[in-house]
Amino acid sequence: MNGLTLILSALSQGMIYVPMALGVFIAFRVLNMPDLTIDGSFVVGMCVCAVVTIAGSPLLGLVCGMLAGALAGLCTGLLQTKLRINPILSGILTMTGLYTINFMILGGQSNLYLQRTELNAAGAQTQVASDTLYKSFRTLLVSLTGNRRLDANLSAMILSGLIALLLLAILAVFFYTRTGMAIRATGDNEEMVRSSSINADRTRVTGIMISNALVAASGALLCQQQRYADLNFGSGMLVVGLASVIIGQVFFGKRSVTLGLISAAFGSLFYRVILQLAYKIDMPSYAVKLLSAVIVVIALTLPLIRRTIKERRAEREEAV
């Protein structure tokens, strides 16, 4: 694999995970709340999208996947605000329950390929691949450019990139509307929001729903790109998303929401590049999760290490 294809493949993967990084950013940085629903809502987006795509509408598949994610978020939000269950536990409960729901959505199996059985001219059963957004988009690009050998990775990256950009732009605007600003304030100082006569429970639930809808969007996109849905794909997604957010923060700092959203998106891309480089030096694919966890741990301890070094230096200077 040469350098360019490596980067292209990394970006193509990274773009798919941008919505998830945005969702994780909203949960962890805007709402200031660790939301473990994410592992489950990624898969629910994937499963719902798979079923709807097979039924014939890839675009509706993406939309329904996102709605399903929002519903998962609604569930976590209500557990937290109405039943006063600890936020982390609320997420774990929803995520655990979702496993069963996802299993049912997939029709009682652990994975589902995007294909349907049809009878061919001879009357024999054949498997026909379902249309996906990526397939249609590539066909569109080919007809526009006339290039029949257009790289599928490239067209996939462009489509995921466009969707990611659209979601990013909508969010960047949304967080400056009255509702968006109230959601930001809820994560910053909930008491102040209530004293401003705003129903903070509602803004919190809305925020969690948006966050999980974005995560589900990544699940739906991945499902269409790899042409199957898998029940076990979600585990560790939260850490992947968090790694993206934190990597982005290293480059951009934390100044405004818009910059935060952009840095989360870039973080998602950087993260995939790092992974591709790791694969290049023969890291086995099962090592991905450990690598993600280590990246998050390092990034989270950096401030502490920096402070300790500073304090030690100050101490030494005093001693001299």
Residues found near another protein in the complex (CB under 8 A)? 176-178, 180-182, 184-185, 188-189, 191-200
Coil vs helix vs strand at 174: helix
Annotate 204-248 with DSSP letters as a single string.
HHHHHHHHHHHHHHHHHHHHHHHTEEEGGGGTTHHHHHHHHHHHH
Give the shortest CB-186-to-another protein separation in angstroms: 9
Task: CB nearer to another protein: give 202 or 227.
Answer: 202
Alpha-carbon gap, residue 223 to 159, rounded angstroms: 14
Give the shortest CB-194-to-another protein separation in angstroms: 5
Length of the chain as a residue count: 320
Give the shortest CB-193-to-another protein separation in angstroms: 7
Task: CB nearer to another protein: give 60 or 173.
Answer: 173
Give the shortest CB-130-to-another protein separation in angstroms: 39
Distance of CA 316 to the CA centre of its chain: 45
Instruction: Write b or e for each residue in 23-54: b if 16 or more Cβ atoms lie within 10 A of its Cβ, otherwise e.
Output: bbbbbbbbbebebbbbbbbbbbbbbbbbbbbb
Task: CB nearer to another protein: give 31 or 216.
Answer: 31
Evaluate the CA torsion angle 32, 38, 44, 49 in order and state its sign: positive
Task: CB nearer to another protein: give 21 or 257.
Answer: 257
- For 172, counting Cβ atoms within 10 Å of its Cβ (0-12 exposed, 13-18 middle, 19+ buried), the class is middle
Task: CB nearer to another protein: give 176 or 251.
Answer: 176
Task: CB nearer to another protein: give 184 or 272.
Answer: 184
Give the shortest CB-249-to-another protein separation in angstroms: 14
Give the shortest CB-180-to-another protein separation in angstroms: 7
DSSP conformation class of 98: H
Coil vs helix vs strand at 109: coil
Distance of CA 19 to the CA centre of its chain: 5
Taking the chain, what is the end-to-end CA distance rounded to the nearest angstrom? 55
Give the shortest CB-256-to-another protein separation in angstroms: 9
Give the shortest CB-77-to-another protein separation in angstroms: 16
Task: CB nearer to another protein: give 135 or 184.
Answer: 184
Coil vs helix vs strand at 30: helix
- If we measure between CA atoms, which residue out of 155, 223, 168 comes closest to residue 25? 168
Contact 228, 112 (CB under 8 A): yes
Task: CB nearer to another protein: give 103 or 190.
Answer: 190
